[in-house]
Amino acid sequence: MNCNTPTDICFSFAGFQARGGLTDIHRDGWGIAFFEGRGVRLFLDPQASSASPVAELVRSYPIHSLNVIAHIRKATQGVVTLENTHPFQRELWGRYWVFAHNGNLKGFAPELRGDFRPVGQTDSEFAFCHLMETLRARFPEGEPPLPVLFEAVREIATGIGRHGEFNFLLSNGAFLFAHCASRLAYIVRKAPFASAHLKDQDITVDFSELTTAGDRVAVVATTPLTDNESWITIAPGTLMLFVDGEPVDAGPAGTVAFTGSGPASCG
């Protein structure tokens, strides 16, 4: 989720949580990261989200955030343990970066410089470490302008993607990258707001009662979370950038503006 105003994700999370063991097979752990300013709250649980007390807390305790990344795991590489649970987090250039991957990279094992090393055994964390160290090596002084960063992430992602399915979400709290290798869809909710009904649980929310006119919220997911809204399918091979609740062209440096207003509730 990427928003222009701090938004809770309680609605989407209710559907998402069900996929972790109830309506879907992703029962090998789950996690969710909420950016609040430059800080992150990362909740991880190696058990199925449908049975997790931590997931219950997340579902019932509204944390308002501009950028949220959540993941439910179906283990392909690496055992079911906490250190193999997504999302993963590292610090780069004085910001936290959070990463979640859907897919399976086979035989992906470039030599790492050592700046970022995997703690667990997943292909996903390995790819994240490779991405982080490549970015640091290329921009040792600090975060480059967004268009430059976008091109670098796209290029590195394309390289990693040669080894298998590499759908991922990546955020530093200011914006959200979404890379589609095979399956990814998104929706932008903005005025005039309407009702949304979850696919995975019989829950409906009328966003018009919970939002103000300027709110804008983008939700990206492997498959649509609701069944009465028009989700947009992202073309395989695409890296998208979401800022302030909508997809943007990375464009020339400085064209991306950040805004904000009071807390909303349409995630």
Residues that bind a copy of itself (CB under 8 A): 36-46, 53-54, 57, 61, 81-85, 89-91, 93-96, 114-120, 140
Q: How far is the CB of 117 from a copy of itself (least distance, A)?
A: 4
Coil vs helix vs strand at 267:
coil
Nearest to 25 by CA among 68, 91, 72, 65: 72
Q: Which long-range contacts (CB under 8 A, 24 or more apart) does 132-140 make?
A: 132/90, 132/92, 132/97, 135/92, 136/92, 136/93, 137/113, 139/93
Residue 60 vs 195, nearer CB to a copy of itself:
60
User: Which of residues 95 and 197 has its CB atom nearest to a copy of itself in the complex?
Assistant: 95
Q: How far is the CB of 197 from a copy of itself (least distance, A)?
A: 28
Give the span between the Cα atoms of 151 and 74, in whole angstroms.
30
User: To the nearest whole angstrom, how small is the minimum distance from the Cβ of residue 235 to a copy of itself?
Assistant: 34
Which residue, 139 or 231, is less far from a copy of itself as judged by CB? 139
Q: Compare residues 126 and 193 and give the one whose CB is closer to a copy of itself.
A: 126
Residue placing its CB nearer to a copy of itself in the complex, 80 or 248: 80
Q: Whole-number minimum distance, CB 148 to a copy of itself, in Å?
A: 18
Supply the minimum distance, in Å, between the C-beta of residue 53 and a copy of itself: 5
Contacts of 176 (CB under 8 A, 6+ apart): 1, 2, 67, 69, 169, 170, 218, 220, 241, 242, 243
Give me the residues paired with residue 247 across strands. Answer: 242
